[in-house]
């Protein structure tokens, strides 16, 4: 039988949206029946696991660049933590509210997001249980590539603090409009200690059935055999939802040119400006 996911598909420049348009699921690829794969990031924390070359970049940009029309109206702010020296995130720098390219800088971003969670919790108590993003009161999307550089390979102190802050954001953030998309190449207990706190997982090509079980849970290596995805089908994977359902999907490919064009067309309206003393101390990048 013909596999609807066999041929790659290219992403396209997202369509503009009138200011104030409610955040929607974004079209990131297609499913096994050839229908659009629409991914929801609101109220969800997403773990993307896949070996080198598995296509994590197309999920990352499918998430971030597809939200560009909302970034351009300050309904979404993206905090891009790229611990592979900024190689990936810098491509779409114009879409970023804020970036961090070193683990120490990432800690500052994570702390500030916790402050946002605290402020929102105080504002929302007794009023609402789920933050609704709108211009000027945005969804904060924390994107981390590569997660292990913060959670496992960093200095002991940074690692400990990074894991603590991340676990707090993962437990408290989603109702407050602070959500995470984290990419990891080598998923194991030490690299993703907070695996159970992610609410949806995309398993791209993995190395073994053991890795699939680690990422998706016991019993999932038959239902979502990510270790059997061929190397010549990057961007293909299994989306496993919070409820445990698995779907085979393939992301659209985002070329460097398209990422740059999207960033040029829908630049962020807000850019984080560090307090003077903080920028000097932490060397935080801001534009």
Ligand X SMILES: Nc1ncnc2c1ncn2[C@@H]1O[C@H](COP(=O)(O)OP(=O)(O)OP(=O)(O)O)[C@@H](O)[C@H]1O
List Cα–Cα distances, 214 to 167, 181, 206, 207, 226, in angstroms.
18, 18, 11, 11, 12
Tell me, what DSSP letter sits at residue 53? T
Which one, 222 or 232, has the nearer CB to ligand X? 232
Q: In this chain, which of 185, 191, 200, 262 binds ligand X, going by CB under 6 A?
A: 185
Is 92 within 8 Å of 261 (Cβ atoms)?
no
Establish whether 271 is an annotated binding residue. Answer: no
C-beta separation of 134 from 170 below 8 A? no
Give the nearest distance from C-beta 39 to ligand X in angstroms. 13
The answer to whether the annotation marks 43 as part of a ligand binding site is no
Q: Contacting ligand X (CB under 6 A), which of 14, 57, 94, 103? A: 57
Determine contact, residues 38/28, Cβ cutoff 8 Å.
Answer: yes
Q: Are 63 and 39 in contact, with CB atoms under 8 Å apart?
A: yes
Q: Smallest distance from the beta carbon of 122 to ligand X, in angstroms?
A: 38
138 sits near ligand X (criterion: CB under 6 A): no
Whole-number Å distance between alpha carbons of 165 and 106: 10
Total residues contacting ligand X (rule CB under 6 A)? 15
Query: Among candidates 171, 36, 54, which has minimal Cα distance to 117?
Result: 171
- To the question of whether residue 129 is assigned a binding role by annotation, the answer is no
Choice from 67, 216, 251, 259 touching ligand X (CB under 6 A): 251
**Closest CB 209 distance from ligand X, rounded Å:** 20
Length of the chain measured in residues: 287
Strands of the sheet containing 178-184, edge to edge, are 36-39, 26-31, 246-251, 236-240, 200-203, 46-49, 178-184, 139-145, 76-82, 96-100
The span of 66-74, 127-135, 167-175, 247-255 binding ligand X (CB under 6 A) equals: 247-255
Nearer to ligand X, 50 or 103 (CB): 50
Q: Per CB under 6 A, which region of 112-120, 171-179, 217-225, 251-259 contacts ligand X?
A: 251-259
Judge contact between 237 and 50, C-beta under 8 A. Answer: yes
Query: Is 53 known to sit in a ligand binding site?
Result: yes
Closer residue to ligand X in complex, CB, 8/135: 8
- Minimum distance, C-beta of residue 92 to ligand X, in the bound complex (Å): 13
Residue with tokens 């933050």: 131
State yes or no: residue 235 binds ligand X (CB under 6 A).
yes
Site string for ligand X, 26-55 (x = CB under 6 A): ------------------------x-xxxx
283 is in an annotated binding site: no
Q: Which is nearer to ligand X, 145 or 161 (CB)?
A: 145
Closest to ligand X by CB, 82 vs 161, is 82
Q: How far apart are the first and last CA of the chain?
A: 50
Phi, psi dihedrals of residue 202, rounded to the nearest 5° = -115, 115
Distances (CA, A) of 138 to 165, 230, 250, 286: 21, 38, 28, 19
Which positions lie near ligand X, rule CB under 6 A? 8, 50, 52-58, 185, 234-235, 251-253
**Sequence ranges of the binding site for ATP:** 50-57
**Sequence ranges of the binding site:** 50-57
């Amino acid at each position: 039988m013909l596999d609807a996911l066999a041929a790659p598909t290219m992403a396209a420049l997202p369509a503009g949206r009138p200011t104030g348009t409610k955040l929607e699921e974004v079209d990131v690829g297609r499913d096994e029946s050839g229908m659009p794969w629409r991914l929801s990031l609101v109220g969800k924390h997403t773990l993307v696991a896949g070996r080198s070359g598995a296509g994590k970049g197309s999920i990352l940009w499918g998430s971030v660049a597809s939200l560009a029309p909302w970034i351009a109206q300050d309904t979404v702010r993206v905090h891009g933590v790229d611990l592979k020296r900024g190689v990936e995130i810098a491509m779409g720098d114009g879409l970023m509210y804020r970036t961090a390219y070193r683990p120490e800088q990432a800690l500052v971003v994570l702390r500030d997001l916790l402050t946002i969670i605290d402020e929102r919790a105080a504002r929302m108590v007794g009023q609402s249980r789920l933050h609704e993003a709108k211009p000027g009161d945005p969804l904060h999307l924390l994107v981390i590539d590569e997660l292990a550089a913060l959670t496992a390979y960093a200095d002991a102190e940074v690692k400990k603090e990074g894991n603590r802050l991340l676990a707090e954001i993962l437990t408290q953030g989603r109702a407050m409009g602070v959500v995470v998309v984290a990419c990891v190449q080598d998923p194991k207990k030490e690299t993703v200690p907070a695996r159970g706190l992610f609410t949806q997982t995309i398993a791209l090509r993995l190395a073994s059935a053991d890795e699939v079980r680690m990422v998706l849970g016991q019993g999932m290596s038959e239902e979502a055999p990510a270790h059997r995805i061929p190397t010549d089908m990057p961007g293909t994977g299994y989306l496993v939802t919070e409820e445990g359902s698995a779907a085979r999907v393939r992301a659209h490919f985002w070329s460097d040119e398209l990422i740059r064009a999207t960033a040029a067309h829908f630049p962020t309206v807000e850019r984080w400006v560090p307090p003077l003393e903080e920028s000097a101390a932490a060397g935080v990048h801001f534009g």
